Amino acid sequence: MACSFGSLVKNAVGSNGVANFYDEWLAAGERIQGAFRNSPMVARDADIPWIRTRQDAKVKLMVSNSLGFPTMGGTVLKGEIPAGWHTGKHAHGEESLHILRGRGFSVIDGQRFDWHEGSTLQVPYRAAHQHFNTGGEPAQYLSAMCFELEEFVRLAKLEQLEDCGATDPAELAAIPPQASEYLRDGPRALIHLEDAPTDPGDEPTAQLAANQKQHHLTKYLVFPRNGFKPASVAMAHVFEEPPGHHSGRHKHLEAMLYVLSGEGHSEMGGVRQRWQAGDLLHVPPAMWEHEHFNEGDKACRLLRIQFGIRFWFTNIWPDGYTSRRATDELGRPIQAGRIEADANAAVESPVEAGGAALTS
């Protein structure tokens, strides 16, 4: 028998006025779906203030449960390292980073890895690491990890070993040069965008019908076929859509997309979400159909962040959580291509239409 969210909450209290755990469990599904509909979907870079921490001279938390995003435990932040500075040195769970601008290097477990704009780094679980800006302008990076998930399962631990600050030139000169893009006796830790393949190779998810012709161009970053061994988080792809083009339309569990360049909008669950360079789009684990549109006059590039917890649940219930291609009214798969005149029929979100924010 159908019933409203309000009645489910009411039914969670037994006849004696005391909450019943089982009735609360029964109400969880509808409560979660309501949260999906009333949560933010885009972290707007311009609206998020920078702060200073022991680790970073400038940093902003972009997506987390604590900010109202219904994530599966992942967090994404953006950091900035002033010219001539280094970050703090610390250790925590697995982390994936993408360099947004600047030049420098990172030291991971005592090993140096040089980077520039477009480089991606994979930091192993509990590996001590630190980042150095050797360029003449501020360097920026995007970082993703699963700290909130680790905290939920009682495994989170963050150790601060050094604080951020100006780099001593003598200290800088004493750090040995990079010897390899691979960790000693371990997986790859560094890849540059110009070296990333566009051929998916034997990547299993690329073989799914839902991911065929999904984007005009895809570059593969942190994947086993490139020598990496990600487990909980990975900067996985860079997608590119030319002006006047759209992506394919499909549905799956959670993903996040950082806008490297360009502007456009995404349609998720029938609601249009606008974005521009610097913003971060959160695709919630709601199995909503979604599609991305570039109506601008420049190519847009989206950096996809994936979290391992998604695939853990997909393996548990492949019939329900495996990625699926959407079709049009004639049953044809909706794949990447030019934007049709009637392709933008989604309803504007209240935020885009000038109404009340979805983040209440």
For the segment 87-116, what is each residue's pLDDT rounded down to a tens digit? 999 999 999 999 999 999 999 999 999 999
Please provide residue 144's backbone torsions phi and psi, each rounded to the nearest 5 degrees: -130, 140
pLDDT at res. 19: 77
Which residue from 104, 108, 93, 57 is spatially nearest to 78, judged by alpha carbons? 57
Query: Whole-prediction pTM value?
Result: 0.90
179 or 350, higher pLDDT: 179
Q: Is the pLDDT of residue 6 over 90?
A: no
Provide the pLDDT for residue 256: 98
The mean predicted confidence, pLDDT, of the chain is: 91
Q: Which domains, ranges and CATH numbers included, belong to the chain?
A: 42-188 (2.60.120.10), 195-348 (2.60.120.10)
In this prediction, residue 247 carries a pLDDT of 97
- List all residues 6 or more positions away from 97 whose beta carbon is below 8 Å from its beta carbon: 106, 120, 121, 122, 123, 141, 142, 143, 144, 235
Q: What is the pLDDT of residues 10-57, one digit of tens each?
A: 444 555 667 799 999 999 999 999 999 999 999 999 999 999 999 999
Which pairing describes strands 347-348 and 271-276: parallel, antiparallel, or unpaired?
parallel
